[in-house]
């Protein structure tokens, strides 16, 4: 009987036993249980394999001269060298082949293989590695329950096909089938027909005519080569569950990304199943999902045959589930475990991708944690899409809820900008060019850093989302902040270490100055408000203040970047669609020659910059650009290619020929990149809980301070012209052009009742304004008091309270008041918590972090309270309060501070003097130990009599939470035992109240 191949034995590889391969029609491997590896080769000392009975052997039609040939000796998976071809042509035989795994085998659902075929070691391993489901029929046949499809050998157009024939094709003669394939441009080499329910196994090769003998050998080699080696088949099974599988994000990006993952990893040794899930019922949901899957595409460089085969297999490995109830999740888990059990597969892990609104996260997380976790030994990866909260409190709440179900290492929060190739290459670029960048990547050489995302589209159709979030929450808080951190973080020693990268990013974020209302300019395109009225059931006359454009100025406290402005800008309805991160360097050169000569070559007078171009815009591709007058960068040639020098294209006013430009060899969608990182467990491309909360802590104060600020209106598109241009002024930003004034003609009655704000509070002067304006006024008044005191006595003694209220004031003094006489100032504490001075709750630590380390106060002029003596905290026997009182008496004339800054608690306490306190409200001691109702309970404080000896006392009251106590204080007299702040009344000085509108008016 003629066959198209013979069984190949097992051989040693890297000290391991490699299973044999069975690819023939006339012989069978030794029989074995399904899932066991059995060799078709007689090892030394082994019993000979029993041949199949004649009636059980699959019969092959006469293929003229197709005698059995040996496998290719020493063949590597997927490669067929020229030398090996020559040996085949000359008929050399050098032993059995290994199990290469690069050709493609496809067997249709329901096809029965010859008895014994399914137990071959390579076939069994290949089936497991690629999701083939095998079962034993009653007659002992191995039946295919899902198709076996393995990757094509790249570089050839080889296809091994075992597919059901249509009714018409089954009745075609062999010559008619050959003619049909000849019309398709294929050349039939040899064929082997098995009696598999009308199926055929045929080999076609898109090569020039070859000798018959070589064709017959290739039949054997390619069929055996269709099965992967067991070494790569032992990594286990991965179930991917896409929640929200019929939503917009899934349609546009996620299914394509999962298909790309399957194409990339189909030969990795993992098997896959893909489960789409949504709330829709089975039939309509399945229809919607598979309409999306049919539109999946392959990269342009993918061979069409391989693409078609893999796409077909991906569809067959995908299924839809309705997931609404806990029972649905239990059923899904049962189905996955049943599959694993039936096929004898070991589970590697499960990926749950949450493409659903955040309000659904908690319920879904509970279902997964309760009934859909993988068994012990397998990993779980839960992928979460933004938004991750609306502000710091909501982000903290969501983080706490998810932490109740998942461990930190199991959560992957997606910011798809981290998958953009230009953004993802920032750290590798900095690492590979350390020798050039280390001397210039600092405040001495960098003029500014810009991170920009501009869009031409508006928010129409998305106003329900945009009204809740706006441009800052949608883009700046996440995408642009992440790109900025890659630029300014300290470069870790190992940029491949996810832990180091995450830690350095967090440190860079925590080093940023806090944002104020003056840190941003906001705009809104004119049509937005009418779109809100059309799409949302807002009250008639509602006017939206949601910004669609924002420019934000950020500074860092780090020594590397101190004083360097970071500008983050994004908006809708702008003049172009483009995104980039740009580092502009200072130009120290002066060129006396004319402009014509200056433009030649690598002139040092041209701007120097490095640009990470995210895409779109003039280049319409991701790119890295470096000015030629800086350096020629080192770039990985396997993934980035250098572009041609085009002088007709201009970037930032310069011809492209002024730059070294590099673009990706192969462009990849951001979601495909991130899904690959999820598969590989790369956490450095995702947002940790700690980083998320730190980011919201940074942005929330700006969001709160601008929530009622009306944005500047702009027409949109090119008509914006210079209307959105802004500039940096004294550490803040403001629009360059004044907003056009418009005279309003109200149709209704003008308001005739206003609430008057008096100029006094408790018989003392009152200053009131919005919080940011109030802090600016207070800082100016403090500077004026300091200057007058130094002029009068040569020094200025300032006592400052702790807490959260003065943080913005400290930052304002450090960043804007460069005329403050710090060299002649003494800084004292009005109160302190009994914790080490390095503790984050220490008042001194907060003062140092926000003020002292940024101004030039002589070291000996800083006077922290001695709460930590003899390795003990606030022990009366240590005499810390007495020591501080002695220092005050020795250095402060008449123990009278020039200025004391106080705050007010909701219970009326000030400094650390609390209601019904036994110490500090009266008596001789000037510094006392007190007890607080709040943790930490032990405190040290200046006494009320000492405070009242000051020349000036300023009281700062901020926030709506202080409205009740402010109202109460406006009505009561002097009762310090009930409300200690009411006892503040300088005997020979002045008391001034600084109260913002929210505290004053609610």
Which residues in 124-223 belong to E strands, given as ranges? Answer: 134-136, 142-144, 159-164, 188-196, 199-204
Distance of alpha carbon 43 from alpha carbon 758, whole angstroms: 103
Residue 479 bears catalytic tag:
yes
Is residue 816 within 8 Å of residue 779, measured between CB atoms? yes
- Answer left, alpha or beta for residue 15, where phi above 0 means left and psi between -120 and 50 means alpha: left
DSSP letter (8 states) at residue 875:
-
Which of 75, 275, 479, 504 is catalytic? The answer is 479
The angle, 0 to 180 degrees and rounded to 10, between the axes of the packed helices 282-293 and 255-265 is 60
Distance of alpha carbon 409 from alpha carbon 684, whole angstroms: 11
**For residue 560, what are its two tokens?**
């590397």
Where do we find the tokens 């009696």?
195
Residue-wise DSSP of 583-627:
EEEP------S-HHHHTSSS-TTS-EEEEEEEEETTTTS-EEEEE
Backbone phi, then psi, for 854, in 5-degree steps?
-110, 0
Residue 141's contacts (CB-CB under 8 Å, 6 or more residues apart) are 112, 113, 114, 115
DSSP, collapsed to helix, strand or coil, labels residue 1000 as helix
Length of the chain: 1002
Backbone phi, then psi, for 260, in 5-degree steps?
-65, -40
Tally Cβ neighbours within 10 Å of residue 988. 10
Distance of alpha carbon 157 from alpha carbon 723, whole angstroms: 58
Dihedral sign from CA coordinates of 341, 343, 345, 351: negative
CA distance readout (Å), 259 to 133, 379, 519, 974: 20, 21, 44, 74
**For residue 515, what are its two tokens?**
């944002």
Q: Where are the alpha helices (DSSP H) in 762-857?
A: 771-793, 807-816, 843-850
DSSP, collapsed to helix, strand or coil, labels residue 61 as coil
Give the residues across from 825 on adjacent strands.
796
CA distance readout (Å), 828 to 844, 894, 928: 9, 15, 15
Q: What is the 3-state secondary structure (H, E, C) of 898-936?
A: CEEEEECCCCCCECCECCCCCCCCCCCCCEEEEECCCCC
Backbone phi, then psi, for 608, in 5-degree steps?
-115, 125
Nearest to 831 by CA among 776, 779, 880: 880
Tally Cβ neighbours within 10 Å of residue 402. 21
Backbone phi, then psi, for 740, in 5-degree steps?
-60, 135
Radius of gyration of the chain (CA): 37
Distance of alpha carbon 453 from alpha carbon 474, whole angstroms: 11
Give the residues across from 929 on adjacent strands.
940
Active-site residues: which are they?
479
């Amino acid at each position: 009987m003629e066959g198209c191949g013979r069984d190949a034995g097992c051989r040693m590889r890297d000290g391991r036993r490699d299973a044999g391969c069975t690819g023939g029609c006339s012989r069978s491997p030794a029989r074995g249980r399904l899932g066991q590896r059995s060799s078709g080769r007689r090892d030394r000392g082994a019993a000979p394999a029993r041949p199949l009975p004649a009636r059980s052997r699959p019969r092959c039609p006469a293929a003229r001269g197709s005698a059995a040939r040996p496998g290719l000796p020493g063949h590597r998976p997927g490669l067929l060298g020229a030398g090996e071809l020559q040996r085949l042509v000359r008929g050399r035989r050098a032993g059995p082949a290994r199990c290469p795994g690069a050709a493609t085998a496809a067997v249709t659902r329901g096809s029965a293989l010859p008895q014994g075929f399914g137990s071959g070691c390579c076939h069994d391993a290949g089936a497991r590695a690629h999701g083939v489901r095998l079962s034993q029929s009653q007659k002992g046949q191995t039946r295919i329950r899902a198709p076996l499809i393995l990757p094509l050998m790249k570089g050839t157009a080889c296809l091994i096909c075992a597919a059901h024939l249509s009714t018409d094709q089954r009745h075609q003669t062999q010559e008619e089938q050959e003619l049909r394939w000849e019309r398709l441009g294929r050349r039939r080499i040899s064929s082997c027909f098995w009696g598999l329910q009308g199926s055929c196994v045929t080999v076609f090769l898109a090569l020039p005519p070859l000798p018959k003998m070589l064709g017959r050998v290739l039949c054997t080699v390619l069929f055996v080569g269709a099965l992967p080696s067991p070494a790569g088949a032992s990594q286990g099974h991965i179930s991917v569950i896409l929640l929200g599988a019929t939503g917009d994000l899934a349609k546009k990006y996620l299914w394509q990304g999962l298909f790309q993952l399957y194409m990339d990893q189909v030969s990795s040794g993992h098997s896959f199943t893909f489960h789409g899930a949504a709330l829709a019922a089975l039939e309509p949901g399945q229809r919607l999902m598979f309409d999306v899957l049919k539109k999946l595409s392959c990269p342009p460089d993918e061979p069409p045959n391989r693409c078609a085969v893999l796409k077909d297999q991906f569809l067959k490995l995908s299924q839809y589930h309705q997931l609404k109830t806990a029972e649905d999740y239990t059923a899904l888990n049962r189905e996955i475990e049943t599959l694993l059990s039936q096929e004898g597969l070991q589970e590697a892990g499960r990926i749950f991708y949450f493409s659903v609104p955040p309000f659904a996260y908690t319920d879904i997380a509970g279902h997964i944690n309760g009934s859909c976790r993988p068994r012990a030994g397998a990993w779980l990866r839960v992928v979460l899409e933004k938004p991750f909260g609306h502000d710091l409190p909501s982000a903290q709440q969501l983080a706490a809820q998810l932490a109740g179900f998942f461990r930190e290492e199991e959560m992957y929060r997606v910011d798809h900008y981290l998958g953009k190739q230009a953004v993802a290459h920032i750290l590798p670029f900095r690492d590979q060019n350390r020798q050039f960048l280390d001397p210039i990547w600092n405040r001495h050489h960098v003029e500014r850093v810009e991170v920009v995302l501009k869009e031409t589209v508006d928010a129409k159709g998305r106003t329900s989302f945009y009204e809740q979030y706006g441009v800052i929450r949608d883009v700046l808080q996440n995408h642009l902040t992440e790109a900025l951190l890659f630029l300014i973080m300290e470069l870790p020693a190992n940029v491949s270490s996810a832990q180091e990268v995450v830690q350095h990013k967090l440190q860079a974020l925590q080093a940023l100055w806090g944002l104020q209302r003056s840190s941003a300019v906001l705009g809104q395109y004119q049509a937005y408000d009418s779109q809100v009225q059309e799409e949302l059931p807002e009250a008639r006359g509602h006017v939206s203040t949601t910004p669609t454009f924002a420019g934000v100025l950020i500074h860092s406290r780090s020594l590397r970047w101190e004083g360097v402005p970071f500008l983050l800008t994004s908006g809708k309805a702008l003049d172009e669609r483009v995104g980039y991160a740009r580092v502009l360097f200072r130009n120290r050169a002066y060129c006396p020659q004319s402009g014509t000569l200056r433009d030649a070559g690598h002139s040092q007078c041209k701007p120097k910059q490095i640009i990470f171009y995210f895409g779109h815009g003039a280049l319409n591709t991701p790119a890295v650009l470096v000015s030629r007058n800086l350096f020629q960068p080192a770039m990985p040639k396997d993934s980035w290619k250098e572009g041609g020098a085009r002088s007709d294209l201009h970037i930032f006013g310069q011809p492209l020929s002024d730059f070294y430009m590099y673009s990706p060899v192969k462009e990849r969608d951001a979601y495909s990149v991130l899904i690959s990182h999820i598969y590989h467990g790369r956490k450095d491309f995702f947002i940790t809980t700690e980083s998320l909360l730190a980011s919201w802590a940074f942005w929330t104060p700006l969001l709160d301070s601008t929530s009622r600020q009306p944005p500047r209106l702009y027409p949109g598109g090119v008509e914006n012209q210079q209307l959105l241009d802004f500039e940096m002024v004294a550490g803040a930003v403001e629009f360059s052009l004044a907003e056009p004034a418009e005279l309003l003609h109200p149709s209704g009655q003008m308001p005739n009742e206003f609430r008057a704000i008096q100029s006094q509070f408790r018989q003392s002067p009152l200053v009131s304004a919005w919080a940011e304006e109030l802090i600016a006024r207070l800082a100016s008044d403090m500077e004026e008091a300091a200057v007058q005191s130094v002029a009068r006595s040569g020094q200025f003694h300032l006592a400052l309270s702790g807490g959260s209220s003065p943080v913005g004031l400290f930052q304002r003094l450090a960043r804007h008041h460069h005329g403050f006489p710090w060299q002649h100032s003494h800084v004292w504490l009005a109160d302190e918590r009994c914790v080490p001075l390095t503790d984050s709750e220490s008042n001194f630590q907060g003062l140092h972090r926000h003020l002292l380390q940024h101004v030039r106060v002589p070291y000996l002029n800083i006077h922290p309270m001695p709460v930590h003596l003899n390795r003990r905290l606030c022990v009366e026997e240590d005499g810390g309060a007495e020591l501080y009182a002695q220092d005050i008496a020795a250095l402060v004339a008449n123990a009278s501070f020039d200025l004391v800054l106080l705050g007010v608690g909701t219970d009326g306490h000030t400094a650390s003097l609390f209601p019904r306190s036994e110490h500090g409200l009266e008596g001789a001691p000037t510094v006392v130990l007190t007890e607080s109702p709040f943790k930490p309970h032990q405190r040290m404080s200046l006494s009320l009599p000492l405070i009242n000896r000051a020349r000036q006392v300023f009281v700062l009251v901020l926030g709506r939470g202080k409205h009740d106590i402010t109202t109460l204080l406006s009505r009561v007299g002097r009762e310090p035992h009930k409300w200690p702040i009411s006892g503040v009344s300088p005997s020979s000085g002045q008391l001034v109240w600084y109260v913002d509108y929210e505290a004053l008016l609610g």
